[in-house]
Each structure stands twice: as structure tokens, then as C-alpha cells.
Structure 1
């Protein structure tokens, strides 16, 4: 009779099976560990050795990058005095040295992520095997990566592959190859950096949710403090976020954030960096984060506020147009000291709003100010009645109204400046010579005017025009510039030729404006000698210099940049020296070293005598019967200046060009949204877009009042300087 089985046989059998499986897994893990060590320390020979050596070069390069190359930083935009006005960035990060991080923050992170941090050499083999055994035996999953390895992974994700989703996925994939490479880099890194440097490097790279990177930015955004002042509770919250920032976000998920913070406090107690009593007490404290989300600045020019945002936008556009890459600008940690005068910009903004409400539908009132000079033309202010920002319902816009080619209906008779300058250049007329001002005129140049005009020659129709007021039949050119009869300047345009007039506009400063006409859809091309520019300009004067041109050019119906027109006035007041209107004072990199910006060189656009004489020719607009005399008198204006008003067809837009020896500027009022139609000026604060095509706007009204209102305040206390003296060679045509 067979012996009966023992009662404990099934248990013994199961135990043996488990022991056998455990031994096999242990053996496999030991073999795996051996392979990892061998792969890290001893590259194989032969063909595989070549691959391993190439991989070693990659590892060496990567570890050098982590040791030497800092992560993306915030670029700071300041005013002329170095006061910050905005930040530009892709990752909000404030660089922090090891000494600037509190001990509480360091120990909270070490306790929860890598308690053996100070005893291993980049890879914690003891922790790796322990985690592997635990994970393979069905127990709770344990992490095995050291802080050094996590630094490597976070650097790859947040720095190297920050704009590469596939690269980020590869940096996180659960493969032996990836773990092997990460471990090798970590071991190399520990030979190049101290433990404190690695810890600070990790805390500068890791994300704390919502595009907040690094403990410096997190301390400010979460607690409105600095990293050296982070206490235990704050440190525990931040340390608990790093393994899953989105899930542990304290604003979106305060319960989960509290649970995670308390778990970190427990780990600090276990690691003997916090007493149990203090740990339990701190668990009862609220999270303490700033209310209503993180306290971080906008990542673009919205941060400059409604007043200075237009200037910031011009700075950004200018740097990108002058050789700086967008990614470089947003990640390079530059400090850009601009030429912005906040006092002048505030005065310009205030004056623009006094004339036109910021919420006025379809009316933009802008003011652009430039400082004359023979070596630089610094942009001082760019303002508008509208606020800068994304909320259109609040009267905001992010369209560059004061600097871009935003006024598509033109600036009217302000373009007569170019016709007068071209006539002086050809000695066709001097500023004191008599010019004709008939009440009406039929020009042989073609305009495309809808008004019926008589046939002149085959394929040529006339351009019929009249004056907007009553004028004597003749007057001096200086008086014509002050009173602005249309017929006078179309006649001069015929005398001089269309191409020289158009060329003069470009020479004096309308470079981008003349390179692209928004009405024709032409591309902006800043290269003044390019074919695209010549083709764009040819729309005004035809295929050759002697072709019938567009007679209305001198009446300013072309889309215009207010900033470039202001720079025209600056060129005249600089003795004919054109310089690019620059918003840049100085650019320094993250280390404080100067960065060169390749700006166009200044050039003598017209002879100094011509420019000085043109200034004298433009000096009567604010006095006597000048078109801006009423606005000047209302502002109690007493300074010598040059000035020219302009108004377009149907009174749909208007401008005032003005300058003193210290400051030049242009005020423009126009319809930015629905251009076709008129503007009605009912006095300061009562300007609106008419429902039809008619209006009563003129350059001597809203634009002139805006200019004088701002300039009176800006120049208060400044010396009263005379205009330059005219050159006899340009005073009379026989000079």
C-alpha cells in the first residue's frame, strides 16, 4: 500500500518553484548587470568596437554638453536706463547656482529621488538591482535612476530635444540601449562635475509644470520668493512635483499635490533630514502657493504692457530682421537694452489717447518718435491710442500700428516733401522761387483716377485734380510747403520726373515702405537695390524713367510706415544723413558679453546743404497761414521746427510730420480695420470713422494736435535750438 502524501507537500513544491524562479531571475539580473557594467566600462573589439567607440564619442560629447552648456534662458528687454519691460522665452527659467538653493530644497529632492546621491558615482548599482528584483517579483514598482541619470534624461527632454517630439520620446523609451547610454553619460558626468554642480544642474533643467523650468523660476512662480529662501514645506511640494508635474500641479489638483508633498516629508523623516514631529506639523500646513495660478511673466511683448508693447514688438522684429534667429532670441538669455524713453513714450501714448479713445472702433491714432543724429537714429517712442495686447474687445491689438506699414490709405500731402526735395536736387526750383498754384490742373501722368479726364495722347489719359482750398495763383515753394496746394506739386512732379521723386522717398527714409506696397500685395524686401524693390517702385513711374507715372504719388496715397516717415524728418534734421531707425542700445549675452547686431551703415542720402535748405522750406507750417498753425497755437508752441501735414482722399487718413533739432516724429490717424471711408474730427476725444466715404479729417487736426501735445511735454525744460541755415545754392534755381 503506497505511502500517503505528506500534508505539506504542495506548500513545499510551491516554495521550491518560487525559490527556483527567484534564483533564475537573480541570475538573469546578475548577468544583465554584468552586461551593463561591461558595456559601460569595456567596449568590445572588432567591428562592434568601432560602433562602441562612436557611441563613446557621443557619450563624451553629451556629458561635455551637460557640464558646460547651460539650458535655454529668458531674454530680457529693457528701456534705455536698463529697467526691464518684458521677457521673451520658450522656457521660463531663472539660472541658479548651488549656493543660491536652500538646504531644505536640496534634501527634499535627494530624500525622495536619490537618497544615496552622495555615495554613488552616477549609477546606483545597489539601487538598480534592488529595484529590478522588486519589480520582477511582483512587488511595488521602484525607480532606479539616480539624480545624475535623471539630470541626463531631463536635459535631453527639456534642452537637447525641446522642439523635437520624436527625440523626446526616444529619451524616455524603456529600453536597455537607452538605459545603457544614460548610465554611461551619468558616469562620465560625475568625472566632470561635483555633486553640488550636478544637483544644481538638475534643479535648473527639470520642469515644474506650465512651462516653468528650474527651481529659480519655480520659487518665484509658486511662492513669489527666491530659491535660497525656500522652506521645508515649499521644498517638499516642489520636490514632489518633478516625477509628474502635470498630475501634481497644486492649482489643478491640490489634493494630489498635498498627498505628494506629505510623502516627500515622510521620506525626509526616513532620511533623517527632518524630525518626525516637524514632519507631522508641516503636513497640516496649506500648500501656500500664490493664488490664481503661477506668478510668471508673459513670454512675449504682452509683458511690456499696453503702453510699451508696440516698442517691444518693434525690438523683436528688428532683431529678427538683422540676423538673430528666433529660437536664439527666445532661448539665449540675452539682455537687450533698448532706446525706449518711457517718459517720452508715456507722453506720446497719453496724447494719442486724448485725441482718440482707445475703444473707438476702426480708428487708430499713432505717434512715432526718432532722435536725429549723424551716427544713429534712435527710436524713442512708439505709441498708439489703442493698447497693445490680445483682447480686441478691450481696444487692444498686437498689430504693429506705429512701426509697420499699417496705414494702407496713405498720409496725403506729407509726400510733397519728396517732390520738393527732388526739385531742389535738380535745381529746378529753390525754396524762395515762385511756383504756380492753379485751382485745377490736368497732368499727363496716368493715375488711374476714377474721375473722367480728357484724352491726351495714345494710351495716355490725364490726371485731373484740384486744390482743397483757395490759393493765390502763385507763391514761393516755402509758402507752398506750408499751405499745401495740390496742383503745385503735381506740376513739380512733371518737371522733375516720377522716378527721381520716388527715388528721393526711398533715399530719405521710406526704405521698407517703398520696397513693398501693401495695396498691391508686394513683399517686403529691405534690400534697397534688389529687383523686387525696383519692380515695386516701378508701379509709380512705369517701366522707364520717361514713362508716364502715377501723378497722385506726391499726394501720398501709398501705404506708409509711420516710423519710416518719422525717420525721414530725422534725416532732414541730420543734415541729410540717413541712418536706420534703431531701437537697440546694447545687446549682451547670458554671460554679460556684448553681442554685435549687424545694422545698416548711415549714409549721406542728400547733400547737407539740400537737407538744411529743405528744413528751412518746411519751417512755416506752424505759423501764419500754415496748415498746423491752429494746433501749434493751442499748444502754445514756441520752438523752431519743420512741419508738413497730409490728408488723403475722402479724409480717410491724415498725418503730421514734424521735427525739432532734438526730436522728429510723425502722428497718423487712419482706419486700420475697414480702410475705405472717411474720418470725422469733432474735437479731442470725439474722432470716429464715418459710415460713408466722406469726413472732415485733416492733418492739421487730430495728427497735429497729437504731435504738439506730446512734444510740448517731452521737450519741456530742453533748450530751444535753432534750425540749420539754408544753403544759397538751393534757395533759388539759379543758385
Structure 2
């Protein structure tokens, strides 16, 4: 057997040189290919790269923020991404340290690409330290410029990776490390629709980025790479394990001591979950109406960005400053919730065992209307179903989610029955404003925005009932009548040219007269009010109503003295504010200004202001409104005995025919509040005046609200503040006993009234 020679077993020097040549040629070829790829990528052959200008101004969708009077954020407008940009100085060092320790521990040493990290990452993952291969700068490049192209296939992702490397180097060239890490933290997705550290801090911990503790910061950084997998609400064990790993990395990098980490790792996640939602949170009805207002302003064409494009409310990070007081808004919502739950029970008890179709006027018509106005009907119509199929759908049982005062309820019922259920739900709205500035402090547009989105502060006008009476009295006082003048409280028929005779009914049991105007208003007596209308005539009363900001049609007929016209809660609240504000009507103001993302004002609101009556007339009306609350038996007197509210308070109740609408407008020196209650359709209503009158259906919400407002001294709305008197002396006294003595036997009252 022949054996190969030793010479054949060993490579010759020539072979080694040849093989080395092959290797170096391969390396050189790969190097040239990489260089060519990088060069081609940088020249844009595989798709455009961001320009220098784009690098200096990276486009990042930002949510627009709604700010309350104290500059706290009460909501945001966004589409897809909820993000608010915050500067480095307002981000806790704990967040920065946690991020660097976990995602890029050589961040401060490299220039965008960490070659050592790229090779060592395999070893890290083998020992269980799961880390990504990209630097923070590379991740930022991906977040800012390449999200859309990363799902186009293997080769596309490869070229995109090259782009990220180039962009990362360019970012490092144009920005400081602080600026890069700030941009990263403001753009990354933390899950739960929270983009950016500000949204994440608010969503998961109900705090701001500057107040994040080490364990909170570690949790936010923990979810960065896999927001769904490590979601702290749904997957708490995973999130806890990952958070503790981040804390350990912070110790490895000397940002925390070992003892601190051991203590922090024992803590629970401590989630205080406050997801941002357009349908939840504080003042949802207000936020939706504000959205419409701001979009209308931006669409006017007068406000554009430096590049000539219009502002986008959902993406341009606008700051919208409002007058809403977050504390008072919460008080108003709490007061509504507390009373409406009880009132709905009263309503249900009145109708218990009653066949609605037999007792509710136009029942079938109203249910059909409700069906056609429902979101379900609109969706089925959009889907192309015929009317016959839609009706069949509404009569087929389905799993539905309905509103109750105990919370949303999933139940099996026919959709048509849910329409009837909704019609039997009482609705309510409230607006509270500063009568001097016109600033709206609280706005509650309905009982539940998720289920019933129609606003009834600014949009939903309803018949105002007896809350219209002060307008007739104000017209009379403007023409020289005194609150202390007396009128018979007996039936009256008013004859008007070209119109049928009008004989108003008494509101409840009539009080024997004659009555002073002040007492007649306090007891809300229809006959005295109608008699006064007969004296002053409808035209000046209608003009007074319109001058006070009522935009709905006000016919020049005698019955407007009893409130047969419609108005919104906003309009009525502003109208009563003129009485408190020395006869000056101020347009309700809820939007102060709009700033761009850099804090530059782009719009400032200037409210309309006009003098609509003499300040003496206004002051006398305030005194009469106080009589409604202070006189025993007055329709607003329960403000005192039911809620123990002291200090100067006035107001007026209102109840429309068949108890379809209940109103109360409450006035104090610093705050005027309008409240309405009723069903969606006027044919659904309380069966008894005792429960359906405004004194029961609306006034208690004012009482509960003002109890909370007065108890909070920091709001500056104290009980002891009095209504400002006019600058000049009154031409007639407010003390009716003194007035009666003064004119007794002179016939001045009768003469003034034309008797």
C-alpha cells in the first residue's frame, strides 16, 4: 500500500499565499460592494434619503393638547398617534439612564453606529441579556424616517437598514446627544396609543415625564421594543420581569446601586392607568365642540404654517388654551351624575307598569324617528340594506351595549327596544361661566358621551319655559316699572291684532293677589307675567331677548313671556350673566388662544361685548332673582333649605308644558350656571309636576355643584361676596315695604300701569 508523501500532506507556502489572496480578494470585494451599496444608498439610488432640512426639522406627528385654565392637559386631539413633545429638561434623568443602560450603553461614545455592539449582541443574547443591535440613533432614524418602508420584503429591509445607518450618522452630525435622546423619547411607541414619553407617563402613571421614578422609568423603557408583548396592563408578569431586567442594567452601568435595585425590584408595577380616549375623560362634550370650533378656525385659510400648508389639528402639536376650570368641571360632572341617577329612578317609578304606547303622545312616530336617527340605522343604510331589511334587523334580538347609571351593560335585546329605552332616559346639560369675563368654567353637554354624543350646551336648543320671565320683567323695569309695583294675579286674555286671543293657564295653584313684580317672579305666576306683557307689548320684549344673545327665532307674540321659544343652555346662561354684569352682555368664551408646537400664538380669541341694559335695571333684576331663592315659597327657595347654601344667590326655575323641559339658571356674584333636564323627545316626560318641574329636575344639580365650589376656597368663589351695586344711586328702593309706604294713597302704581 502506497502512502502519500509528507510533502503532499502539507500546504506549501505557495498554496497559503494563494488562499490568502483569495480571502483578501473576497474581503476586498465585500468591502467594495458595501462601499458601493452605501454610496448608492446615500445618492438615493434605492430611494430618497431625508434632506438636510428634513433632518433639521424631522416630521413627527404630534397630538394637539387641550389646556385648562391652570394649563393642565384635559384632553388631546390626534389621529393614530398620541404624542406630545417635551424638552430634555422636563424628562427625568431616570428615563435617560434606563434607556442608555438597556438600549445603547455606548451611546455617549459612538457616532451613530456601534460596531462593537453589533458583534457583541450575539453573546449578550446567548447569556439571556436580550438587547437589540441598533443604537439609539439608528432606532431614532427608523422612527423618524423609515417606518413605512420596513415591511417591503427581505431586500427592501436590507437597503432600509443601510439608509438607517447613513441617517444615523447624519443625525449625530447635526444634533447633540441630548437632542437625539430627546427626539427618541418623544417619538417611540410605548403602547396603549401612547407615542412619546409624555403620553406614556400620563397613560401609565398619571404623571409627567419629569416626575418619573427609577422603577417607573424602567417600566417605560422595558416596553419600548415590544409594546404589545410587554404591555403592563395585559401582561403584568412579563412587564415586571422586563422592568427588573432594566433596573439590573441600570445597576450594571452604575446609574443605581445594587441595594437600590434590589429594593426597587420588590415593588409592584404601580400602574395608574389613564388611557387617552376621545370618548372618556374630563369634559368630552366640551372637547368635541371645541374640536369643531378649532377646525373651523383653521379651515378659514387665515392660518398657515411657514411652508404655506394649513395646520392639522390631529398632527401638528397645537396647544389650545381654554377657560375650563378642571376642578369645577369635575364638580359639575359629579353633581350631574349624583342627581341624575336619583332623578332617573323617580322617572322610572312614575312610568312603572304604564303601557308607553298608550300614554305617550305620538309614541310610534317617535320610536320610528329614534330608529332612523340611530347610529345602527345609518350603518345599515351605508351597508346597502333596504328599509325592509333594516326594520327586520331592528326587530331581531342582538347583543347590545346600553348605558345605565350603574355602568354600561351588555345585554340581549331587540334594537328597537333599545331605541325605546333610550327615549325614556333623561338627558341633562350644564354650563357655568364667569359673568364678568364670559369665561366658561364648566361644560357638561350630556349624560354620557360614549353612548349619546349630541351636545346640549351649545347645540341642542329647547323650549325655555319660565326662565324667560325675567326678560319681560327687565323690559318693564327698563320702562320705569318698579319691582315693588303690584298687579292683580287674576286670569287675563290678551288680544293682539291679526292673532288669536291668548289666555294663559296658571302655573300650579295661583297665589291670591295683588302681587308685587318681585313676588310674582319669585312664585313664577303666569297671570301677573302675562298682565305685565300686555302693558309693555311683545316687540320690546322680543328685542330684549335677542339683544341678550338668543339666536333662535323669537316671535313677537305675547306668549314669549312664558318661554314658548327655544334657546340653548349657553345662550340662557350668557343672558342671565348680563344681569350680574351691570347690564353688559359678554359672549361666552371657552377658547382663549391657539399656539403652534413651538409656543407661537397663531390665533387669539376676542369675545363680543355689548351694553344691553342700564346697570340699575340689571341690579334690580338681580335683586328680583334673589327673591326667587330667598322668599319662602319661591320656586328656587329649596337652594337654601335643601342644600344649606348661604350668601347672595339668585336664580329662576323653568318648566315647559307637560313637564317636557326642566330648567334652573342660578346666579352668584362670580358665577352663573345654567342647567336643563329632559328626554330627547318632548313627548317623553315626567307625568307629575312635582317631579318634572325645574325645581326638582334641574335645581338640585346646581345645589350639589355649588356646595362643592363653595367648599373649595382656592377657587375664589366665596359665599360672602356680594353683587356689585350700580355706581349711581337707585331711582327707586328695593325694599318693597318702604316703597308701598312711599306711594300709599297717591295712585302712582295704578297711574303707572294705566289702570
Q: TM-score, normalised by structure 2?
A: 0.61
Tell me the equivalent position of 2:34.
Answer: 33
- SS of the equivalent of 2:186 reads helix
CA distance in 1, matches of 2:662, 2:178: 63
Pick from 639, 647, 652 the counterpart of residue 655 of structure 2: 647
Retained in 1: the 8 A contact 2:675–2:702? yes
CA distance in 1, matches of 2:254, 2:586: 64
- SS of the equivalent of 2:140 reads helix
Match status 1:189 vs 2:190: no
Pick from 715, 718, 721 the counterpart of residue 720 of structure 2: 718
CA deviation digits over 1:258-284, x for unaligned, max 9?
Answer: 887799899999xx8589x989x9999
Match status 1:571 vs 2:599: no
Pick from 315, 336, 342 the counterpart of residue 357 of structure 1: 342
1:311/1:172 CA distance change after superposition, 3 Å? farther
Tell me the equivalent position of 2:193.
Answer: 211
Q: CA RMSD in A?
A: 5.9
Q: Return the offset for 1:650.
A: 1.4
Retained in 1: the 8 A contact 2:655–2:663? yes
1:261/1:719 CA distance change after superposition, 3 Å? closer
Tell me the equivalent position of 2:354.
Answer: none
Match status 1:63 vs 2:103: no
Q: Return the offset for 1:581.
A: 2.4
Instruction: Report matched runs for 1:229-628 at 5 Å.
Output: 241-253=223-235, 273=253, 290=269, 295-296=273-274, 298-299=276-277, 302-304=280-282, 309=283, 313=287, 316=290, 320=294, 323=297, 328=313, 332=317, 334=319, 336=321, 338=323, 340=325, 342=327, 346=331, 353=338, 357=342, 360=345, 362-363=425-426, 368-373=431-436, 376-381=437-442, 403-406=457-460, 408=462, 410-422=463-475, 427=479, 439-441=491-493, 465-468=504-507, 469-470=509-510, 480-486=520-526, 489=529, 501-511=541-551, 514=552, 537=553, 540-541=554-555, 552-583=559-590, 597-612=604-619, 614-615=621-622, 620-622=627-629, 627-628=634-635
Retained in 2: the 8 A contact 1:349–1:383? no
CA distance in 2, matches of 1:301, 1:562: 22
Tell me the equivalent position of 1:199.
Answer: 181
Tell me the equivalent position of 2:373.
Answer: none
Retained in 2: the 8 A contact 1:339–1:583? yes
CA distance in 2, matches of 1:420, 1:202: 64
- SS of the equivalent of 1:75 reads strand
CA distance in 2, matches of 1:485, 1:703: 19
Retained in 2: the 8 A contact 1:86–1:300? no
Q: Which runs of 5+ in 1 are unaligned?
A: 1-7, 9-17, 132-141, 446-456, 515-536, 542-548, 680-689
Pick from 95, 102, 113 the counterpart of residue 86 of structure 2: 95
Q: Return the offset for 1:179.
A: 5.2
1:358/1:424 CA distance change after superposition, 3 Å? closer
CA distance in 2, matches of 1:719, 1:572: 16
CA distance in 1, matches of 2:608, 2:669: 21
Tell me the equivalent position of 1:682.
Answer: none
Q: Return the offset for 1:718.
A: 1.1
Q: TM-score, normalised by structure 1?
A: 0.63
Q: Return the offset for 1:30.
A: 3.9
- SS of the equivalent of 2:156 reads coil
CA distance in 1, matches of 2:447, 2:138: 48
Moved more, 177-186 or 500-509: 177-186
- SS of the equivalent of 2:273 reads coil
CA distance in 1, matches of 2:492, 2:720: 44
Retained in 2: the 8 A contact 1:651–1:697? yes
1:581/1:23 CA distance change after superposition, 3 Å? same
CA deviation digits over 1:683-710, x for unaligned, max 9?
Answer: xxxxxxx4xx876643455545665676
Pick from 648, 659, 668 the counterpart of residue 667 of structure 2: 659
Tell me the equivalent position of 1:14.
Answer: none
Q: Return the offset for 1:193.
A: 0.8
Retained in 1: the 8 A contact 2:662–2:692? yes
CA distance in 2, matches of 1:250, 1:727: 70
Q: Return the offset for 1:443.
A: 5.3
CA deviation digits over 1:403-422, x for unaligned, max 9?
Answer: 345573x3312112334445
Retained in 2: the 8 A contact 1:75–1:335? yes
Q: Return the offset for 1:663.
A: 3.6
Match status 1:698 vs 2:690: no
Aligned length: 611
CA deviation digits over 1:312-355, x for unaligned, max 9?
Answer: 64894696378479964887374847453847974995599469
1:73/1:382 CA distance change after superposition, 3 Å? closer
Retained in 2: the 8 A contact 1:413–1:648? yes
CA deviation digits over 1:201-252, x for unaligned, max 9?
Answer: 2233211222233456656766889689766x88776556434322343554
CA deviation digits over 1:65-122, x for unaligned, max 9?
Answer: 13xx8863673644x5x3847343642657362895558x667756765566555544
CA distance in 1, matches of 2:619, 2:236: 69
Retained in 2: the 8 A contact 1:440–1:466? no
CA distance in 2, matches of 1:411, 1:727: 31
CA distance in 2, matches of 1:481, 1:63: 69
- SS of the equivalent of 1:628 reads coil
CA distance in 1, matches of 2:211, 2:439: 40
1:568/1:179 CA distance change after superposition, 3 Å? same
Tell me the equivalent position of 2:140.
Answer: 151
1:627/1:101 CA distance change after superposition, 3 Å? closer
CA distance in 2, matches of 1:238, 1:614: 58
Tell me the equivalent position of 2:62.
Answer: 72
CA distance in 1, matches of 2:224, 2:438: 49
Q: Return the offset for 1:601.
A: 2.6
1:21/1:554 CA distance change after superposition, 3 Å? farther
CA deviation digits over 1:603-625, x for unaligned, max 9?
Answer: 22334454345445656434668
CA distance in 2, matches of 1:353, 1:124: 60
Retained in 2: the 8 A contact 1:348–1:383? yes
- SS of the equivalent of 1:671 reads strand
1:380/1:493 CA distance change after superposition, 3 Å? same
Which structure has more relative contact order (CA 8 Å, sep 6+)? It is 1
Retained in 2: the 8 A contact 1:640–1:723? no
Pick from 615, 634, 644 the counterpart of residue 641 of structure 2: 634
Q: Return the offset for 1:567.
A: 2.0
